[in-house]
A and B are shown apart, each in its own frame.
Chain A
Amino acid sequence: MHALAEAAIWCLVTLAVYAGSRKLHQKFGRWWSSPLLLTWTVCGIAIVATHTTYHEYLEGTHWMVWLLGPATVAFAIPIHRHREMVRRHWLLLAIGVSVGCILAVSSSWLLAWGFGLSPQLRASLLPRSITTPLAMDASSRLGGSPELTAVFTALTGLFGAAIGENLLKILPVTSSLARGALFGMGAHGAGVAKATELGQEEGVIASLIMILAGQLTVIVVALISSL
């Protein structure tokens, strides 16, 4: 009974912090008010402060992680909704996604190798540029830790969304396609939010790039690991 009550409390705490940080983010709308960052840090501090183990925390919250599967299926809706854009720009989308995925995986691998990181950490870093649920799946197939991949992926999104606009000031890119691709490939979900602030087309391109990059990476990883 005690364990059940504890599980229920952690579930409610997580939901309450999430709901509260969403309200806060609506008010401030800055990177530090991101519900992802706030829920993560506040719950993390609460877990450490109460000497709860991660296993105990997960008892009450693993159903949330389980919903990542159905949420991934839901990515079909934005692709279908913007099928006109896919039809019109399919070649550029394909080029952007392929080059982006190759750059993401190869640069992570090279840097991780250069820093002498362990094979497990290296594998956890490789898929971090794609959307979290698919990155976690790819990570476990590569022999990485899906949980650490979730952390690296979140850092990628937060950082990418924060510096994207500064990069756009330096880079000689003017088309909304390239601007959207920068955010969708570099910072997945957080990048899509940022790209939408720049313009409607940027946001749509970013979300398409994000979803297609996730699909491509997972298919390639699944095929390689099944050989």
Chain B
Amino acid sequence: MPAAAAISPSVEPKPVYRAGMQAIGMILFWWLAQCLTAHFHWPIPGSLLGLMLLWGLLELGLLKLHWIEQGADSLLRHLMLFFVPAMLALVDHHELFSLLGIKLILVVLISTVVVMCGTACIVEIGFRLSHARSR
């Protein structure tokens, strides 16, 4: 998946078992975060808490990047495989293969153009303003 290549530029594939062990470590970390949110009834999902915790631990230097990066990179590289089974629920939604489906596609297309143009323009304006100020 080229998308993951951008997220994770580490190139040389190291031994598979090491990436596997690290991926299991990531799963345990996620499970721990999942238990925390369930136990304390926090409103955020365990995966998000896990992300924040891991990010914090990395920034504080309590966790070294090379301890987990291969496992994390391989999980991200195959991210799209993990949601394909969910997307296949479409086979149970015959009602969408009709005018309704076309409406849904139109919402997706129009909204995507709006989001892309709006975001790019606001960041460009901000960039030029901060550039003009620093000069």
Decide if A77 touches B8 in the complex (CB within 8 Å): yes
Query: Which residues of B sit under 8 angstroms from A58, Cβ to Cβ?
Result: 85
- The answer to the question of B62 belonging to the interface, with a C-beta cut-off of 8 Å to chain A, is no
Q: With the chains together, A95 CA to B129 CA distance in Å?
A: 13
From B6, B78, B88, A206 is in contact (CB under 8 Å) with B6
Task: Describe A's contact surface by its main secondary structure.
Answer: helix
Decide if A182 touches B83 in the complex (CB within 8 Å): no
Q: With the chains together, A65 CA to B87 CA distance in Å?
A: 10
Q: With the chains together, A207 CA to B108 CA distance in Å?
A: 21
Interface size class of B (residues with CB under 8 A): 35 or more
Interface centre among B30, B48, B82, B120 (most CB of A within 10 A): B120
Query: Which residues of A sit under 8 angstroms from B11, Cβ to Cβ?
Result: none
- The answer to the question of B13 belonging to the interface, with a C-beta cut-off of 8 Å to chain A, is no
Task: Describe B's contact surface by its main secondary structure.
Answer: helix
Complex interface residues of chain B between 22 and 76 (CB less than 8 A to chain A) = 23, 26-27, 29-30, 33-34, 43-48, 50-52, 54-55, 58-59, 65, 68-69, 71-73, 75-76
Decide if A147 touches B117 in the complex (CB within 8 Å): no
Decide if B119 touches A76 in the complex (CB within 8 Å): no
| Size of A's binding interface in residues, CB under 8 A | 110
Q: With the chains together, A31 CA to B12 CA distance in Å?
A: 26
Q: With the chains together, A58 CA to B27 CA distance in Å?
A: 21
Query: Which residues of A sit under 8 angstroms from B2, Cβ to Cβ?
Result: 25, 29, 193, 196
Decide if A64 touches B127 in the complex (CB within 8 Å): no
16 contacts between A and B (CB under 8 A): A64-B82, A72-B50, A73-B26, A77-B58, A92-B123, A99-B122, A100-B118, A108-B111, A133-B47, A134-B48, A136-B83, A147-B89, A167-B116, A171-B124, A172-B124, A196-B6
